[in-house]
């Protein structure tokens, strides 16, 4: 009897083992399917992301971006690239973003992805342009509390009329399931990282600052960099901006489409100027590539004095 029992168990052990393995695999597959399944409506994610972006509240917008993108570009760099509002300027922009109207133009469901094309209309408050200081957040945040309340009341009064100046536009988004929620997928892994550096002349007569020292850009999408230059001396100086691209093999794949400093700059004592340059990445640069732009400030010799 014991021998028969032993033989029975040995003969059926592979079947039992296979059954257990299949059950484990099924459980894992079921669990994975559940983690990828998102029951929530993806459109509110698009709405929240657009409103946060319009208000220039980029830390809030970053929360709606996929973890795959976030591994490429951190929140601080993302917010710095686009220029986040803070303080009263942010509060004001959020009031406008509340009235943003967003509609679906096209919605396509692919395997594990949803593609949206949306249209939007949002108020600009251009009627209050004289009070908004051209959306200079330093000036807006420097307003006294009574001045801030006065501006907010003027905005609310304008909103009640229902006849505010608005702008219209279109955007496209891809959303993917991520941690049980829908998230915006930018595919930043395929973008190009561009870093910016400064090479200043000796001495402390000319000071320069980059508004941003690193950007993440995609091919055929224009990108802009701003440079603040200040003359710290007590006499006028002339300087040229010379561009260097590294590696040099990529020079022909990067096109400058706008430059605010093609001619030498003349800076009066304690004068400060902000220069903007815009570029476009063409074909030939591999996805995920990196390159650097160095701005060399070369001081021109002073013009000889006439006797």
CATH number of the domain within which 63 lies: 3.10.450
Owner of token pair 């949206």: 116
Question: What is residue 37's predicted lDDT score, i.e. its pLDDT?
Answer: 67
Question: Which of 178-192, 214-228, 262-276 ranks highest by mean pLDDT?
Answer: 178-192
Q: What are 229-254's pLDDT values in tens digits?
A: 998 888 888 888 888 899 888 888 88
Q: Is the pLDDT of residue 303 over 80?
A: no
Distance CA 41, CA 181 (A): 9
Asked whether residue 35 is domain-assigned, the answer is: no
Query: Is residue 24 located within the same domain as residue 75?
Result: no
Query: Is residue 112 located within the same domain as residue 209?
Result: no
Number of domains in the chain: 3
Asked whether residue 121 is domain-assigned, the answer is: yes
Q: Sorting pLDDT into bands at 50, 70 and 90, what band is 1?
A: very low
Query: Is residue 8 located within the same domain as residue 59?
Result: no
Distance CA 65, CA 75 (A): 10
Q: Burial letters for 98-112: b for 16+ Cβ neighbours within 10 Å, e otherwise? A: eebebeeeeeeeeee
Identify the CA nearest to 209 among candidates 224, 196, 222: 196
Query: Is residue 277 located within the same domain as residue 143?
Result: no
The domain of 159 spans: 43-189
Asked whether residue 305 is domain-assigned, the answer is: no
Region 11-28 average pLDDT? 39
Report yes or no: 249 and 289 within 8 Å, Cβ to Cβ: no
Query: Is residue 93 located within the same domain as residue 169?
Result: yes
Q: What is the CATH number of the domain that holds 202?
A: 2.60.370.10
Question: What is residue 2's predicted lDDT score, i.e. its pLDDT?
Answer: 39
Asked whether residue 124 is domain-assigned, the answer is: yes
Asked whether residue 307 is domain-assigned, the answer is: no
Total-model pTM? 0.75
Query: Is residue 175 located within the same domain as residue 206?
Result: no
Share of the chain above pLDDT 90, in %: 38
Strands 272-281, 254-259: parallel, antiparallel or unpaired by DSSP? antiparallel
Output the average pLDDT for the chain: 83
Question: What is residue 93's predicted lDDT score, i.e. its pLDDT?
Answer: 93
Q: What are 35-66's pLDDT values in tens digits?
A: 456 778 999 999 999 999 999 999 999 999 99
Query: Is residue 184 located within the same domain as residue 195?
Result: no
Q: Per the structure block, which two tokens stand in for 263?
A: 């001619």
Asked whether residue 269 is domain-assigned, the answer is: yes
Among residues 165, 189, 213, which one ends one of the domains? 189
Query: Is residue 102 located within the same domain as residue 151?
Result: yes
Asked whether residue 211 is domain-assigned, the answer is: yes
Query: Is residue 72 located within the same domain as residue 178?
Result: yes
Asked whether residue 130 is domain-assigned, the answer is: yes
């Amino acid at each position: 009897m014991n021998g028969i029992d032993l033989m029975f168990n040995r003969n059926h052990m592979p079947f039992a083992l296979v059954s257990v393995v299949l059950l484990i695999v099924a459980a894992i597959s079921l669990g994975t399917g559940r983690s990828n399944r998102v029951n929530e409506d993806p459109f509110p994610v698009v709405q929240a992301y657009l409103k946060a972006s319009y208000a220039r509240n980029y830390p809030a917008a970053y929360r709606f971006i996929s973890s795959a993108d976030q591994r490429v570009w951190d929140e601080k760099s993302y917010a710095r690239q686009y220029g986040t509002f803070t303080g009263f300027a942010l509060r004001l922009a959020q009031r406008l973003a509340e009235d943003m109207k967003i509609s679906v133009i096209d919605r396509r469901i692919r395997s594990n992805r949803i593609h949206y094309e949306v249209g939007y209309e949002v108020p600009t408050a251009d009627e209050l342009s004289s009070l908004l200081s051209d959306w200079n957040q330093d000036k807006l945040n420097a307003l006294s509390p009574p001045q801030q309340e006065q501006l907010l009341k003027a905005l609310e009064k304008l909103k009640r009329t229902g006849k505010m100046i608005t702008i219209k536009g279109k955007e496209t988004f891809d959303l993917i399931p991520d941690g049980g929620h829908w998230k915006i997928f930018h595919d930043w892994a395929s973008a190009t990282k561009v870093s910016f550096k400064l090479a200043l002349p000796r001495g402390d007569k000319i000071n320069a600052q980059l508004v941003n020292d690193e950007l993440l850009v995609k091919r055929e999408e224009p990108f802009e960099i701003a440079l603040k230059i200040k003359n710290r001396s007590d006499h006028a100086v002339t300087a040229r901006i010379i561009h260097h691209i590294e590696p040099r093999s990529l020079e022909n794949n990067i096109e400058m489409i706008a430059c605010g400093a093609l001619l030498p700059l003349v800076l009066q004592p304690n004068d400060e100027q902000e220069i903007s340059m815009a570029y476009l990445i063409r074909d030939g640069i591999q996805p995920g590539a990196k390159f650097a732009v160095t701005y060399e400030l070369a001081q021109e010799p002073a013009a000889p004095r006439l006797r």
